[in-house]
Amino acid sequence: MGRMRGGVNGLRGAVAPSDNRRMRRPSLAIADVYARLVAHRGSLGWWPAATPFEVCLGAILVQNTAWTNVEKALAVLRGRDLLSFEALAPLSVAEIAPLVRSSGCFNVKARRLRAFLDFLQREYGGRVEAMSAETPLRLREKLLAVPGIGRETADSIALYAAGLPLFVIDAYTRRVFARLRLVAGDEPYDVLQRLFMDALPAEARLFNEFHAQIVVLAKEICRPRPLCGACPLALHCPSAAAAGELSPRDSSRSGTTRSAVLQ
């Protein structure tokens, strides 16, 4: 897919739901986090796929496995010219399963792919692009009714394949924002999603870019054992400060302000 370019104009500060006592008071607004990440790395674009249909397959296959395993399964499908609805739809579960073996739990995932293919045919004539005519919440509701599709997968399909503004919450998002003390990290999915969607303009490209930034940060820097000295958020991260990871050089590199980015 082409590179997504999401702007930051009009970003608002984070507004936590007033009735959710588990939320901690933010030390850095969600909008500021986005601005700093984009200023540090530039626009990334997401999702790593050539077509919206491939996005859907990847979103289902990546459940409970690493993306490298999904890439292997997609490569097998690509090598057999099966990365289209028209080519894959005639296959049975038994025929799909060995093709996606590398993604793990391949029999389960073959059933989920088959269920999604049936759904796509029934609801949208096999055209992923037709999903974009739905409202975000209506598409989400329909996707959640498909066996094997949960909130993260449904929102990934809605955002990255259909281009609808639903913010995706994943383990990377929980890790990064828990370390920033913006969230506790164990809140229900919908509570965290609402926090982000209340704090940002409802723009699919912005949600797309923001999540890409979070994923790259979590994979490269904010790892289970973080590399805080290289993090553009370290100066404002209570976890980095508590670990004593900041040096004067790190502090100056981490100091980009939202006002500077928005100018």
pLDDT for 263 equals 25
138 belongs to a structural domain: yes
State the residue range of the domain holding 179. Answer: 30-45+170-262
Mean pLDDT of the chain: 86
Residues 206 and 12: their CA atoms lie apart, in Å, by 13
| Residue 108 shares a structural domain with residue 189 | no
Structure tokens at 93: 């579960």
Q: What is the pLDDT of residues 147-162, one digit of tens each?
A: 999 999 999 999 999 9
Asked if residues 85 and 55 have their Cβ atoms less than 8 Å apart, the reply is no
| Residue 59 shares a structural domain with residue 40 | no
pLDDT for 244 equals 64
Where among 161, 186, 212 does a domain terminate? 161
- Is residue 21's pLDDT more than 90? no
Please tell me the pTM assigned to this model: 0.83
Q: Over pLDDT 90: what percentage of the chain?
A: 78
Residues 131 and 47: their CA atoms lie apart, in Å, by 17
pLDDT for 262 equals 27
Residues 95 and 98: their CA atoms lie apart, in Å, by 7
pLDDT for 48 equals 79
Provide the pLDDT confidence category of residue 141 given band limits of 50, 70 and 90: very high
Where among 161, 183, 203 does a domain terminate? 161
- Nearest alpha carbon to residue 11 among 204, 198, 181: 198
7 belongs to a structural domain: no
pLDDT for 45 equals 78
11 belongs to a structural domain: no
Residues 204 and 24: their CA atoms lie apart, in Å, by 27
Over residues 103-127, the mean pLDDT reads 98
User: What is the count of structural domains for the chain?
Assistant: 2
Which CATH number goes with the domain that contains 68?
1.10.340.30
**Other CB atoms within 10 Å distance of the CB of residue 256:** 18
Over residues 251-258, the mean pLDDT reads 39
Residues 166 and 173: their CA atoms lie apart, in Å, by 14
Q: What is the pLDDT of residues 66-82, one digit of tens each?
A: 999 999 999 999 999 99
Structure tokens at 103: 């993604």
Where among 161, 188, 215 does a domain terminate? 161
| Residue 88 shares a structural domain with residue 184 | no
3-state secondary structure of 51: coil
Instruction: Look at 90 and 27; give whichever has higher pLDDT.
Output: 90
204 belongs to a structural domain: yes
**80-95 in b/e burial notation, b at 16+ Cβ within 10 A?**
eebbebeebeebeeee
| Residue 65 shares a structural domain with residue 137 | yes
2 belongs to a structural domain: no
Cβ contacts of 52 within 8 Å, gap of 6 or more:
1, 128, 129, 160, 161, 162
